[in-house]
Each structure stands twice: as C-alpha cells, then as structure tokens.
Amino acid sequence: MFFRGCVVCLSVLVLACSKNSGDPAADAWPVAPMVKPGQHDQIAMVTVAAGEFIMGSNQRDKEGLQQRYGFPFPLFLDEHPERKVHLKAYKIDTYEVSNAQYKEYILKAKGNVPPAWGQNGYGLAKSQALTMDIETLRMIGAEHFKLDMDTRNMEREALIQVMLAKQKIMDHYPVTGVTWFDAEHYCQWRGQRLPTEAQWEKAARGPTGFEFPWGNEWNPLLTNTGDDGKWEDGIAPVGQYVDNKSVYGAYDLSGNVWEWVADWYQGNAGSDFSSKEFGEKNKVIRGGGGGMGHYAISYFFRGASRQFLEPNTVGEDIGFRCVLN
C-alpha cells in the first residue's frame, strides 16, 4: 500500500532461484486464454472514439480528508482545472496486463529471466524444480507458494504438479513488481506504448467525465479496493469485477492495481497549484490499488485522481496496460 507524500512501496524481491536457463518451451509454462504464444498482438483491446472529453476536476477537500487521514499533501488540487480535451481515436487494453502476458515477453524477448514478481513462486521454472534440492523445493512450496498443505514429506513430482497448478491460477492476475521502464518496454515489444494521462483518463471516465468507470456514485462493492480481505495480497484476477467497466468496455480502471502511464508528474495548464514533486522525476500512476488497506477511500479510485512515483519504483500493487494509436 502507498499514498502520495508518504510512499511505502514494497520492494519486490527476486527469488534466489528465479534465474532461468535453457529452452523456454521445456519449462511448459501455462498460458492465459487471453493470449497464445506468438500472438501477443491479439490481446483484447477496446476502441476509444475520437472526440472531446472532460478531463480533471475543480473539486476541493470539503470533507477535510487531508486532516482526517493525516495526508501530507492537499487533495484534488493537482487535478485542476476541469477542462475539455480532444483526442484522436486509439485502442487500450481491455484488461490490465496479466502475469501470463508478461511472462511470454520475458521468455521470448528478455533471455528467459523472470521479473521481480515477488516471493510467490511465479518465477520458478519447471526445469529448475526438476533439478533443485528437494528440501529447497519443499521450502519454496511452503514459504513462497504458500501451499495450503504440509510440504515437508512431499515427493518431487507431486510437489511440482501442485506448484504448476498454482502458477496457472496466477497467470490470470495482473503483473506487478514492474518499473515504469519495464512496463514501457513491454508495450514497445507489442508495437504499442503506455497510455498518456489523457488517454487513460478518457478510457476510464468516458466523454462526460464520470467520477468512476461505472458512473458518479462510489460503490466499493463494484471494484477491488483490497479493503475486505477477499483476495490474497489484495489483488484480484483481471476482469473479476464485471461491473467495474467503463463506457468503452475497459475493466479495472478503478482499483485492483495502480497503473503506470506515460507522463511525468507535472502541473496542468491553467492551474495555479504547484508542487515540489513536479518535473521530470516522477511518473504518474492512475486508478487506485488493492493494497490501499484502510486508506481505501473513494478519492484514490476516481478517474481524475493523480498519484506519482519515481519511474524505477516497483510495488506489489502497481501494474499497467498498453495503448495503440
């Protein structure tokens, strides 16, 4: 979890055994149904029509949220002013980029080296499991995969099958633990790029500037805020909340994971708000994440809300999606 001004980004550690080698095909990675090997250009995207939309807001902290929650920064002011922006048509990913989609990129384009997916077992290849010391493998099953069983006496083949089954489930979760540079490189590999702030916001709010993808009324049941303890680590599989959909048909633009966008964190034209964080040092993230915990107030999950991080930051609830002009 993090909030702007007091960022607590949990560094995502690479497993000591996560470096892979050999033929990627031999590892028999399960593949999510949204993309097949060699068909990353067929990942589901929705079209956002050309035209004007309402960007930003003129809202102010009338409820005293800053004082109530102890935030060291003023709320809403970096969104000012509300304005109309015209964009050309573009496509944006229907869902947040998944683990399986990112893994295809890792195996095919980056020398078969997993990213910092955290100590959850997703970076372990079958080829490694087949040659690893059995006690180490059992420890990984218990501590990293967090298998709900006693792994201390499990034989190798049975343990590997359980691990692969859990990895298959994890395929459907959004990739996290990636820097802004990692996210941009992945999108470029697809022949695409990260969305601009304007593109992301239009996809989330529609042409009339909804507060949330589904409308103007806050309903925490429609999205994953991570506040109800329903999901392990606060993150849900992509597209799990079927009503968390924008007018263009894009899912999870509010909640689940924060999303990197292309822009530096800068002031808006026509705004008199200034911040020492403005400039080419922080990249914008959007959407709110499932790691918010008791800070899961509606402010963070609005389509206009702007947050920021240094581009080399990794976090357990920071992901992304791509756009195509």
Q: Give the start-to-end residue ranges of the domains of the chain.
A: 24-115+173-324, 126-170
Say yes or no to pLDDT of 42 above 50: yes
**Mean pLDDT confidence for 74-101:** 97
pLDDT given for residue 316 in this prediction: 87
Say yes or no to pLDDT of 323 above 80: yes
User: Cβ neighbours of residue 121 under 8 Å, at least 6 residues apart?
Assistant: 15, 140, 141, 144, 145, 146, 163, 166, 167
Distances from the Cα of 291 to the Cα of 59, 183, 233, 243, 318, angstroms = 25, 19, 7, 20, 9
CATH superfamily, domain 24-115+173-324, is paralog of FGE (formylglycine-generating enzyme) (3.90.1580.10)
Give the length of the chain. 325
Whether the CB-CB separation of 35 and 187 falls below 8 Å is answered with no
pLDDT given for residue 255 in this prediction: 95
Task: Tally Cβ neighbours within 10 Å of residue 225.
Answer: 25
Query: Mean pLDDT in the chain?
Result: 85
Which residue type sits at 93?
Answer: D
Cα 304 versus chain centre, distance: 17
* Residue 122 pLDDT grade (very low, low, confident, very high; cuts 50, 70, 90): confident
**Mean pLDDT confidence for 66-89:** 95
Distance CA 155, CA 259 (A): 40
pLDDT (tens digit, 9 = 90+) per residue, 84-95? 999 999 999 999
**Mean pLDDT confidence for 246-260:** 97
Which residue type sits at 12?
Answer: V
Cα 264 versus chain centre, distance: 18
Total-model pTM? 0.84
**Which of 146-150, 230-234, 281-285 is the most confident on average?**
281-285
Residue keyed to tokens 């690893």: 132
pLDDT given for residue 114 in this prediction: 53
pLDDT (tens digit, 9 = 90+) per residue, 232-250? 778 999 999 999 999 999 9
**Mean pLDDT confidence for 33-47:** 65
